[in-house]
Every structure is written in C-alpha cells, then in structure tokens.
Amino acid sequence: MLKKLLLLSLLAALIALVWQLGWLDALTFDNLKRQQGELVAFRDAQPLLVSGLYFLVYVGVTALSLPGATIMTLAGGAVFGLGWGLLLVSFASTLGATLAMLVSRFLLRGWVKQRFSKTMQKLDAGIEKEGAFYLFALRLVPAFPFFVINLAMGLTRIKVSTYWWVSQVGMLAGTVVYVNAGTQLAQIAGPGDVLSLELLVSFALLGLFPLLARKLLNSYQNRKKLQGWKRPKSFDTNLLVIGAGSGGLVAAYIAAAVKARVTLVEKHQMGGDCLNTGCVPSKALIRSARLAQEMREAENYGLKSREPEIDFQQVMARIQQVIQQIEPHDSVERYTGLGVEAKEGCARLVSPWEVEVTLNSGEVQRITSRSIVLATGAEPFVPDLPGLGDVDYLTSDNLWQLREQPERLLVLGGGPIGCELSQAFQRLGSQVTQVERGSQLLPREDRDASDAVLNKMQAEGVAVKLEHQALRVEVRDRENLLIATNPEGEEVAFAFDRLLVAVGRKPRLKGYGLEELGLVPETGKTLETNAYLQTLFPNIYACGDLVGPYQLTHAASHQAWHATVNALFGHLKSFKVDYTFLPWATFTDPEVARVGLNEKEAKEQKIDYEVTLYGIDDLDRALADSQAYGFVKVLTPPGKDKILGVTLVGPHAGDLLAEFVLAMKHGLGMNKLLGTIHIYPTLTEANKSAAGNWKKAHAPEGVLRWLKKYHEWRLN
C-alpha cells in the first residue's frame, strides 16, 4: 500500500510539474509548425542529444498518459524524417505504452480484482487465450485511444513481453502514417488532416484482420482435431442425441421443432434419471412423507394428531403410478409424433460422425450424423469404503425398488439428495441417521439456511451427525455398522438395517466410445466443453449431468437448448451458455431455494453487499397456514436496489423464488418488486415484504425530516 501511495504521489507530482511548467501547452500543432526550422537546426547541430531527448520526452508523455502523443509523433517525422523518426517513435511509444500498462497494473489491478474477482477470472482466461489477437486489433485501429488501451490492459494478466511485441507491431501502421505526415508538415493544416475517412476505414478493416485470422485459425485447429477420421460423404441425420433424459429430450425436441432430421437413442428408460430415479420419484415420496408429518401435527389445526399407519409398499407403488402418469410426456410415441426418430438401444461413438446403435431387439445399426449431442447423464458416486460391498447398500438408482421399509436407515451424505431422502424416510417412520463429513448440511448454502433445515430435521427425530468421516462398514454379530470418526477424532459406530449412499453423482464417461475418441477428461471429472458446450471435437456437443457444473433437470434443458442450436446453426451464430440466473431448490421442509449469490459466495468473491432479511414468521398467510417459519434473504450492492442473489427458506420456497429469478434476469430491482401488486393473503407477499424492508432501510431520512416539518406546518 505504501509503495502504491509513493508511486501515486510521484506520478501526481510529475504531472503537476509538467502542467505548471506549461510544457503541454507548448505541444500544439501551430507551435510545431512555427518551430520546425529551429528544431531541425538543433537536430543538425546535436543529432544524438536531440534524438535522446526526444525519445525520453515521448516515453514520458505516453507513460504518464498525458495528451500530446499525436503532436510528438508528427514532430518525429518533421524533425527526424521518415526513417529515423519512425524508429524513434515506434520504440518510444511501445516503451511508454508498456510503462503505462505496468503502472495501471501496479496501482489498480489488485483493487479491481478484489471487487470483480469472477469477471476478472473470466477476463484473464480470455486474455490468456486470445489477448494478443484482441490487443493487435485494438492497436491497429487508431480510433481506440492509445492511453485507454494501456490503462485497461494493465488490469488484465497479459504478459509484458506479449504486450510489448503486439503493441510494437500493431501500432506500426498508424505510426508510419503520422510520422510520414510529419515530414509533410507544411502541407497539412492540423492533426485532423492526417487521417482521411478512407484511411480510417482501411485501419478498421485492418483491425478486423487479426480477428478474421483468429477465426480461420480456429477452423484450421478444428479440422486438425478431426484429422485421421474419415468424414462420411453424406449424413443420415443432422443431429444424433445420445441419452433421452432431461437434456437429451429437450435437444431432440428443439432439433425436431426447427425441422432438422434428428435421431434420439436411449439405452435404458425414456425420461432418464429425472423421471425414473430422480426428481419425480423423490418428490412423490416427499409428498407422502409430508402428509404423514401433517397427520402428526394435526393438532396445530384443531384436529386430533395421530401417528400415521404407513403402508410402505403402497407409498412406493404410488411413486410408480406417478412415474407412469408422467411417462407419456417422455415416451417414444410422443417424440416420434414430434418428428424425432427415437431408438431404444445402446449407442456407442465409433467416429466423430458415426454412432453404432445396438437396438434392444439385438439389431446393430450404424448411423452417421453431422453433429452429435451427448446427454448420457450421471450416476451415483459410490465411495471406496472398506466393507461397503458386504452390505446390500442403496443408491438413488435402486432405492425405488425397495418394498420393505428399513427400520433403521443410515444416509451417507448431507447434500440435497441426502437431506430430502433422510427427512422423507424419517417422516415415513424409519429411524434415520444422517452422516456428513462437513460442518453443515447443504454445504453450498449459507449457514442460516442450512441450520433451518438441520433444526427441523433434528426436531423431527433425524440423528444428524456432522463432521463425521465415514471410515468403513462392518458386520458384527449380524449387525451392520458404519464406523466413522467424530469431531473429536474418536471412532464411533452407527447401526443400520439399510445404508443409502448419497455422496454425489459422477458423470457417465465410460463404455460408449468416449475413451476411444480421447474425450474422457484426465481429471476423471465432468466432460470438458467450451462455453458453447462443444467438446474437443467441434461437431460433438454435450449437456446435462455429464457436463455439470449444476446437476439439475432445468440446467440440463438450458444447456440442451444451447448445445442443439450451436450444433445446428453454430456455423452462422453460436450462443454461450450462461448460468448467472440459474435457480435451484432443495425440497426439504423447510424448502431452500436460491438464485444468484449467497453470502458465502459474495465473501469468497470479495463482492460488497448488503443483506435484507424478511422473516416469514411474520407473514399473514404463513400464520394462517400454521407454517410461519423461514426467511427471505436478499443481497444487494450497498445503497443500490439491484438484486445480486436471493436465498429463500420456508414452505414453497422453490415456487416463491420464481419472482426473484424473473426480476434478476430482467434487471428489475427491489423498488420494482415493491411497486408490484401481490395478492393478499399469499406467501408471495414475503417477496414484497422483503422489498419493503429494503426500502425502509434506504429511506431518504433528510427528505422525511423535511416532510415531517411540512405536515406539521400544514396542521396550522
């Protein structure tokens, strides 16, 4: 900090001195014209001294971002001629520009990075990849002010050597024009005469050249990746989609809607995880569990509470009925009707354009496609826990076949799936122990949100064991035990009848040709794509749980739109996938829903924020429903009503959040929310009340004092 202050003071003193001495006033076109003769005579008398002085002054003017570089450049030509003048100007301007960039970096980068860390990360990644091209384009076009480029590039992580050579080469064309104009000083009336419209347009075109070159290079690199693979002369289909889950179904739907020929291949069940083993069954289970809990709490409503008689088989049968009711939406028949060629079988990539499909009937087909969308999803991650294989453990894949209710269920994992299922099973009458190695449930959420879930689950009887690291599974005297270390580091044992593993989901990467094509990431994590959802092969796209980072149905659909549109129309226009306004919810009671930043992330990213809280315990409708708990927490920048993020905890939080998602997506702030009529009495009034709390905290106190005086005066 001290060094920065010292440099800042030194720079300020230098600029003040230059100003005071009136040197900048002397740097005018008329002065140059008037004194050209004297300057040339001086140069003839002392060529080296004059060249050295000129060089230093030029560097000083540009390094301090002072006005006058144009006159200095013209002077270079007027005094030294084209050759020597060009040499001096070219090196002095590059040195000055690099110094200005370094000063900006030293003084400002840390501060900017701290405030806008996410944006800066993206910018740095872009600069690392394409920075030289963009800088070159900017340098070629004199319309972009020289000093602005220096200051702005200082904020990035561009390499000094890259900055130097790109600036030197990029500014050369403009420098030639100005230095040459300086040699013809008598013929021009001012700096404005140097660049004609034609010349400006030529420079702009020249500026486009590196970007064009970049595009050509990209297309060359893409072709290179496909080298060695025989491209079919023609294709059977425009798009082939592997996997008919949330991502694949949307991809096929969109392709058919825009009249592309599309083939969809599903090896297991149409609808994928969401319909068969994920969102749908879990929400159906949660509904039965909620009713059971409501029966226990009936006295809150003036009815007799009673312990529900759980018919577990019926609960599980109802889940299958719900799946069957939704199934037609995702069926082969529906998609065939939409114009999709739906195939039930296992797909395997054999080349970037060719897929081998082993149909359920046993027939094997080879299908060529111009583009492919991989939407093969993820599966439960099963940790390498000694002894786990000795017990018939459950995952979200096989849980739905369970017909006998476990008396003691041990749930491993404190994420959304673990929490939803723990609470549901406890409510349905199992004694649930939930083991989580972290210090809170729902680790992505703020502590207050996670604590609200923890407290409710504990109150309902779930034995939540935080900071417990699972070590192994043992079977002792026909008793299943999970051995874990507790926060004190001691070994503890938890007995269970069934164990549900819910510690995350891993992308499906193996067994269908990704390895052979070299597409499996070295990290072993999610499949790598660029922002357009393109894999290493430019015609193979991917979406959904396979790609992440959000393993959610609506994230898969959002990505599927991008992957499909880019696959079909990317040669005309591509769309980057953006997750800024992606919401999600955990369907525990209370529900926890979020969009945008929470406090944890704002702190990590060093973003300044204010918190506005509204407690749902105060809301009329929630009180009428005897469900007055939870809160709305809104993050805004200090003093502004822009919404940075919202965490909603309480009944129907996932539904209530929609208003905030819309507001954020369309740039509506807290004032607009407050000015919107909400139906009384509904839970949505919680959103308006949060906006009201924000307004109260930002009331214009001074104006209100005056208003008070005004009303007092009106009383007379």
CB 108, CB 155: distance < 8 Å: yes
Q: According to CB under 6 A, which one of 243, 352, 583, 651 is a site residue for ligand FAD?
A: 243
Residue 368 Cβ vs ligand FAD, minimum distance, rounded to whole Å? 17
Buried (b) or exposed (e) across 383-419, using 16+ Cβ within 10 A?
eebeebeebebbbbeebbebeebbebbbbbbbbbbbb
Show the site string, 21-50: x = touches ligand FAD by CB under 6 A, - = not. Answer: ------------------------------
Q: Which stretch binds ligand FAD (CB under 6 A): 264-272, 381-389, 436-444, 706-714?
A: 264-272
Reading the block at residue 105, the tokens are 């970096």
- Return phi, psi of residue 438, to 5°: -80, 180
Distance of CA 413 to the CA centre of its chain: 25
C-alpha to C-alpha distance for 672 and 667, rounded to whole angstroms: 10
Rounded-to-integer distance, Cα 400 and Cα 116, Å: 45
Q: Which is nearer to ligand FAD, 146 or 335 (CB)?
A: 335
Question: Applying CB under 6 A, which part among 220-228, 306-314, 316-324, 539-547 lies near ligand FAD?
Answer: 539-547
Stretch that binds ligand FAD, among 152-160, 180-188, 196-204, 375-383 (CB under 6 A): 375-383
Tell which residue, 252, 547, 237, 282, has the closest CA to residue 400: 282
Is the preceding omega at residue 700 within 30 degrees of 0, hence cis?
no
Using the rule CB under 6 A, which residue among 135, 265, 292, 319 binds ligand FAD? 265
Residue 159 carries which DSSP code?
Answer: -
Any contact of residue 167 with ligand FAD (CB under 6 A)? no
Residue with Cβ nearer ligand FAD (191 or 521): 521
DSSP state of 185: G
Token pair for residue 138? 């900017």
Of 318 and 695, nearer to ligand FAD (C-beta) is: 318
DSSP structural state of residue 396: T
In degrees and rounded to multiples of 5, residue 28 shows phi and psi of -120, 160
Residues 416-475 that bind ligand FAD (CB under 6 A): 417
| Number of helices and strands in the chain (H, E) | 26, 20
Among 76, 131, 278, 630, binds ligand FAD (CB under 6 A): 278
Compute CA distances 453 → 36, 101, 462, 591, whole Å.
Answer: 80, 50, 11, 8
For the bound state, the minimum distance from the C-beta of residue 553 to ligand FAD, rounded and expressed in Å, comes to 4
Site membership for ligand FAD, residue 246 (CB under 6 A): yes
Query: Which of residues 51 and 237 has its CB atom nearest to ligand FAD in the complex?
Result: 237
* Nearest distance from C-beta of residue 275 to ligand FAD, angstroms: 8
Residue among 252 and 375 whose Cβ is closer to ligand FAD: 375
Structure tokens at 281: 């069954």
Closest approach, Cβ 343 to ligand FAD, in A, equals 9
Question: How far, in Å, CA of 241 to CA of 372, rounded?
Answer: 6
Q: Assess 657 for contact with ligand FAD (CB under 6 A).
A: no
- 552 contributes a contact to ligand FAD by CB under 6 A: yes
Taking CB under 6 A as the binding criterion, the range among 57-65, 260-268, 439-447, 621-629 that sits at the site for ligand FAD is 260-268
Structure tokens at 608: 């300044």
Residue 97 near ligand FAD by CB under 6 A: no
Nearest approach in angstroms of CB 375 to ligand FAD is: 5
Q: What is the C-alpha separation between 557 and 565, in angstroms, rounded? A: 12
Q: Are 606 and 423 in contact, with CB atoms under 8 Å apart?
A: no
Residue 272 within binding range of ligand FAD, rule CB under 6 A: yes
Nearer to ligand FAD, 267 or 633 (CB): 267
Closest CB to ligand FAD among residues 72, 399 = 399
User: Is residue 268 part of the contact set for ligand FAD (CB under 6 A)?
Assistant: yes
> Does 248 contact ligand FAD by CB under 6 A?
yes
Q: Rule CB under 6 A: is residue 396 a binding residue for ligand FAD?
A: yes
Q: Does 354 bind ligand FAD (CB under 6 A)?
A: no
State which of residues 131, 174, 308, 377 lies at the interface with ligand FAD (CB under 6 A). 377
Q: Does 267 bind ligand FAD (CB under 6 A)?
A: yes
Q: Return the C-alpha torsion angle 104, 106, 109, 112, nearest 10.
A: -90
Q: Quick one: 236 or 545, whose CB is closer to ligand FAD?
A: 545
For residue 483, the minimal CB distance to ligand FAD (Å) is 26
Buried b (16+ CB within 10 A) or exposed e, 136-166: bbbbbbbeeebbebbbebbbbbbeeeebeeb
- Does the footprint of ligand FAD cover residue 553 (CB under 6 A)? yes
Quick check: 536 and 521 in contact, CB under 8 A?
A: no
375 binds ligand FAD per the rule CB under 6 A: yes
The piece of 58-66, 215-223, 545-553, 686-694 that touches ligand FAD (CB under 6 A) is 545-553
- Output 273 or 641, the one with its CB closest to ligand FAD: 273
CB of 134 to ligand FAD, least distance (A): 34
Q: Does 508 bind ligand FAD (CB under 6 A)?
A: yes
**DSSP characters for 51-91?**
HHHHHHHHHHHHHTT-S-HHHHHHHHHHHHHHHHHHHHHHH
Among 70, 93, 405, 551, binds ligand FAD (CB under 6 A): 551
Examine residue 544 and tell whether it contacts ligand FAD (CB under 6 A): yes
Q: Which is nearer to ligand FAD, 308 or 416 (CB)?
A: 416
| Of 346, 411, 500, 565, the one binding ligand FAD by CB under 6 A | 346
288 binds ligand FAD (CB under 6 A): no
194 vs 646, which CB is nearer to ligand FAD?
646
Cis peptide before 681 (omega within 30 of 0): yes
Site string for ligand FAD, 583-622 (x = CB under 6 A): ----x-----------------------------------
CB of 373 to ligand FAD, least distance (A): 10
Rounded-to-integer distance, Cα 212 and Cα 664, Å: 35
Q: How far is the CB of 228 from ligand FAD (least distance, A)?
A: 23
524: alpha, beta or left, given left = phi > 0 and alpha = psi -120 to 50? left
CA distances from 709 to 195, 695, 698, 701 (A): 62, 21, 20, 13
3 state SS for 621-676: HHHHCCCCCCEEEEEECCCCCCCCEEEEEECCHHHHHHHHHHHHHCCCCHHHHHCC
Question: Which CB, 107 or 582, lies closer to ligand FAD?
Answer: 582
Cα–Cα distance, 660 to 673 (Å, whole number): 9
Q: Does 62 bind ligand FAD (CB under 6 A)?
A: no
Q: Which is nearer to ligand FAD, 494 or 512 (CB)?
A: 512
Applying CB under 6 A, what is the total number of residues that bind ligand FAD? Answer: 37
Neighbours of 184 (CB within 10 A): 14
- Residue 573 and residue 433 in contact, taking contact as beta carbons nearer than 8 Å: no
Pick the closer one to ligand FAD by CB: 170 or 247. 247
The verdict on 636 binding ligand FAD (CB under 6 A) reads: no
Question: What is the closest distance, in whole angstroms, from the C-beta atom of residue 507 to ligand FAD in the complex?
Answer: 9
If one asks whether residue 247 binds ligand FAD (CB under 6 A), the answer comes out as yes
Do residues 239 and 564 make contact, with C-beta atoms less than 8 angstroms apart?
A: yes
What residues line the site for ligand FAD (CB under 6 A)?
242-248, 265-269, 272-274, 277-279, 282, 346-347, 375-377, 396, 417, 508, 512, 544-546, 551-554, 556, 587
